[in-house]
Amino acid sequence: MTDTTGTPARKRLLIRTWGCQMNVYDSARMADVLAPLGYAPTESVEEADMVILNTCHIREKATEKVFSDLGRLREAKQARGGEMVIAVAGCVAQAEGAEITARAPWVDIVLGPQSYHRLPEMVARAARAAGAVIETEFPPEDKFDHLPETAAPQGVTAFLTIQEGCDKFCSFCVVPYTRGAEYSRPVAAILAEARRLVALGAREITLLGQNVNAFHGEGPDGRAWGLGRLVRSLAEVEGLARIRYTTSHPRDMDEDLIAAHAEVPALMPFLHLPVQSGSDRVLRMMNRGHTADDYLRLVERLRAARPDLALSTDIIAGHPGETEADHAATMALIRAVGFAQAFSFKYSARPGTPAATMAGQVEEAAKDARLAEIQALLREQQTAFNRSRAGMVADVLVTGPGRHPGQMAGRTPWLNPVHFEGPESLAGRIVPVKILAGHPNSLTGALAAPLHDQSRERDAA
């Protein structure tokens, strides 16, 4: 529908996003794809003409949470006389599309993470169809080639997907089944998108991928580039001050990428490197392809390259077959590494994954107890790391106002949230902040120099 000038009529779009940063990126691109149809963002279900649930299958009871939300959306749709398009996107949609349409026939569109570039076509088909439109195949074309070059600003920090899918087939993980095989975008397309993000105000870009350090995109020279080479090229983008990447696999951390941590100032000294377990026996059952010693030696090489590197990780408690001795080995690895941040979960079965049918499923009480021990140690390490920042002057990228009047918020190079007093005009700048105290989840600080003396600001970094 258009108005008398030929412009699409104004409609409202609500996207609810669960899960990883890649889902956040995907949600933003879905909004970009639908903008030419006249859809503008809203936070209100009552005024939404279209609602998209962008789902994640990693967390426990993900499917039940989706159906709970869909039940509430059914009431909202009925209140509007049926004039609301409801779509389920992401990994739950990919894995359970048929169940979604069977249990929630009021859903209009079900689409997997490789199909969202087709959303305008799906919206048109849904308007004509009697039932749901389902797109959960892996299409032969590259979705990135069909996304609009224009995009809404993400802010001072932005996400940029460079790689999707995974070929590792860890026993507990659904990603190879919901996102497909590893695929890397061409370097030229990544650089072009990075320049657009910087032009829209981004000072820091986080490169995303299910297996981001397995990146092997085609470079301008026709050869495959690794992530280290891509980072070096991105560091030359004018106005881009900081580069990060996530999530990595220990098997894909090559020497050039390790060297980039030492040689590229824009590459921040923070690395999320999931280990999942400290037990070699469990790592074999997980099909991780590395041992605990492999991981520890990799950490040594990374810290030799960048001594101030902060590490984050993922830990699973209670994978099928895990014993108390295996759990003790995980605790020992955590102590040996010393993590600045971490994400830890108790194992929960994902339908279709090898671990779901393995013998030796661990009792819930044991999983709960082991997870509690792991999280207590990780909290202790995170708090110690944050407190170790006290007294230093850190270059802080100011992301915007804090929670309190006169307060600003930002991020250190090590990804610590930091709060300090300062004017809102600092947003988007990198300023020196004296860290006054470290807390379990954040830092407090004060500007280290008067504003007129901040010539050392890293704006041109």
DSSP-assigned beta bridge partners for residue 452: none
Beta pairing class for 85-90 and 109-111 = parallel
List binding-site positions for [4Fe-4S] cluster.
Answer: 20, 56, 91, 166, 170, 173
Given the structure tokens 């671990």, which residue do they identify? Answer: 355
Nearest to 342 by CA among 283, 261, 270: 270
Phi and psi at 49, nearest 5°, equal -85, -20
3-state secondary structure of 115: coil
List binding-site positions.
Answer: 20, 56, 91, 166, 170, 173
3-state secondary structure of 12: strand
CA distance 9 to 351: 42
Angle at 387 between CA 383 and CA 392, to 5 degrees: 150
Beta pairing class for 163-164 and 183-184 = antiparallel
Nearest to 318 by CA among 354, 289, 284, 277: 277
SS (H, E, C) 230-294: HHHHHCCCCCCCEEEEECCCHHHCCHHHHHHHHHCCCECCEEECCCECCCHHHHHHHCCCCCHHH
